[in-house]
């Protein structure tokens, strides 16, 4: 199929909305395909690369977007869609290649990541064919056509992975995940998991469980101002392309957990915690209950692979290692690895997953980690 691929303009909004409707009906959970105001903002934003593919007659055949965060040098591929009448012709791959080329051509990005639905293998194969590396599995991460799991992939600019800062050790509970990453990407993580790697530490934070209800303050402008006041240094609020719109607070005010809470997709990202990340771990049960009442059944957080204490605290609180993002953050001339930890309050059902080869090690790793976290050892041995 011959198509013309060009940047989207404000005049394309109505046709783009129809394109996303033709593919998803009313079930598309992302504003860029349904909200004209958000679509207008993104098309006008020089940090966003939005391409539209048109057939010879001018009708839209596909769309793809890369949103970028130049401050963190990370981009995200979103909104990749091809009209049902033009699938199986390679258009998804063409759009992915073109929009990523436009984003990397700015010279401002170290990597672009994408979260991919796993109802079919096709999207996973598109990622791999376009140079994306599989990084992990995010179970129950989004409400699309029901509760779905997503695969995490990333594509790196030349030379970025060679600048990775080595990590001397990591909690042994990360072993299955790091082993999967080594199998899939070839990054040698084996030396990180030495026998003396710290699994636990004497916590410098409160350990008495919180049982009282957590308050959820959903006032985006206030939350944003308060967030910037408490975290004036960007290093303390590193979570690319996520901005908090809610804050979760216990009755005694012992911590403030800033979250990107999205009831439409049923997901929540813990962006930052004041005064320190592990302060929230003794209150994870009421926090999960509060997030669930607010419409999200999935919670994730992002931590440096080198932050053994915080990783150990979240692992002890029932979070499961889900993905590892190598060279995610550049500090000076070195790039640092991060880990995605997740927790879901819904039962995970992997029977509907269509898993391509590159992601299979991560499915196995997640199942191993989940079993070690939630099944008593005597049951596992039986």
**pLDDT digits over 143-182, tens only?**
777 788 999 999 999 999 999 998 988 999 999 999 999 9
| pLDDT computed for residue 202 by the predictor | 42
Task: Indicate the pLDDT class of residue 27, thresholds 50, 70 and 90.
Answer: low
Which 3 state secondary structure label does DSSP give 281? helix
Angle between helices 36-44 and 13-24 in degrees, nearest 10: 120
Average pLDDT over every residue of 312-332: 94
Average pLDDT over every residue of 291-315: 93
pTM over 0.85: yes
Q: Is the pLDDT of residue 329 over 50?
A: yes
Which 3 state secondary structure label does DSSP give 379? helix
Task: Indicate the pLDDT class of residue 298, thresholds 50, 70 and 90.
Answer: very high
| pLDDT computed for residue 200 by the predictor | 46
| pLDDT computed for residue 207 by the predictor | 54
Give 200's contacts (C-beta < 8 A, 6+ positions apart): 312, 316
Q: Is the pLDDT of residue 198 over 50?
A: no
**Of 65, 173, 214, 152, which Cα lies nearest the Cα of 362?**
152
Burial class from Cβ neighbours inside 10 Å (0-12, 13-18, 19+) for residue 2 reads exposed
User: What b/e string do you get for 250-262 counting C-beta neighbours within 10 Å, with b at 16 or more?
Assistant: beeeebbbbbbbb
Q: Which of 24-38, 85-99, 358-372 has the lowest mean pLDDT?
A: 24-38
Q: Is the pLDDT of residue 264 over 90?
A: no
Task: Indicate the pLDDT class of residue 104, thresholds 50, 70 and 90.
Answer: very high
* DSSP label at residue 146: E
Q: Is the pLDDT of residue 197 over 80?
A: no
In this structure, what is the dihedral angle of CA atoms 278, 282, 284, 287, given to the nearest 10 degrees? -100
Cα–chain-centroid distance for residue 285?
A: 22
Contact 236, 275 (CB under 8 A): no
């Amino acid at each position: 199929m011959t198509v013309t691929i060009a940047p989207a303009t404000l005049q394309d909004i109505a046709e783009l909305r129809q394109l996303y409707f033709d593919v998803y009906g009313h079930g598309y959970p992302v504003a860029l395909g349904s909200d004209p105001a958000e679509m207008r903002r993104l098309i006008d934003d020089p940090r966003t690369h939005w391409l539209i593919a048109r057939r010879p007659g001018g009708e839209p055949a596909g769309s793809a977007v890369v949103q970028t965060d130049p401050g963190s040098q990370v981009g995200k591929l979103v909104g990749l869609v091809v009209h049902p009448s033009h699938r199986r012709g390679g258009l998804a791959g063409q759009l992915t290649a073109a929009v990523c080329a436009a984003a990397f051509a700015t010279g401002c990005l170290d990597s672009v990541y994408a979260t991919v639905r796993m109802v079919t293998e096709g999207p996973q194969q598109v990622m791999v064919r376009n140079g994306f590396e599989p990084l992990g599995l995010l179970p129950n991460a989004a409400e699309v056509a029901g509760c779905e799991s997503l695969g995490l992939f990333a594509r790196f600019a030349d030379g970025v992975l060679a600048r990775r800062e080595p990590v001397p050790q990591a909690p042994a509970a990360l072993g299955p995940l790091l082993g999967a990453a080594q199998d899939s990407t070839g990054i040698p993580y084996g030396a990180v998991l030495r026998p003396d790697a710290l699994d636990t530490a004497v916590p410098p934070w409160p350990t008495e469980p919180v049982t009282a209800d957590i308050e959820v303050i959903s006032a985006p402008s206030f939350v944003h101002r308060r967030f910037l006041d408490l975290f004036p240094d960007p290093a303390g609020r590193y979570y690319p392309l996520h901005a908090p719109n809610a804050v979760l607070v216990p009755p005694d005010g012992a911590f403030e957990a800033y979250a990107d809470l999205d009831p439409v997709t049923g997901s929540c990202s813990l962006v930052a915690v004041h005064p320190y990340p592990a302060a929230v771990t003794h209150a994870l049960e009421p926090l999960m209950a509060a997030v669930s009442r607010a419409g999200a059944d999935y919670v994730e957080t992002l931590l440096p692979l080198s932050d053994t204490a915080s990783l150990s605290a979240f692992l002890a609180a029932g979070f499961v290692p889900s993905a590892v993002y190598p060279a995610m953050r550049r500090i000076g001339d070195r790039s640092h690895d991060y880990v995605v930890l997740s927790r879901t309050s819904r039962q995970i059902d992997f029977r509907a997953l269509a898993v391509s080869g590159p992601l299979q090690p991560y499915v196995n790793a997640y199942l191993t980690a989940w079993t070690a976290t939630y099944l008593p050892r005597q049951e596992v041995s039986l």
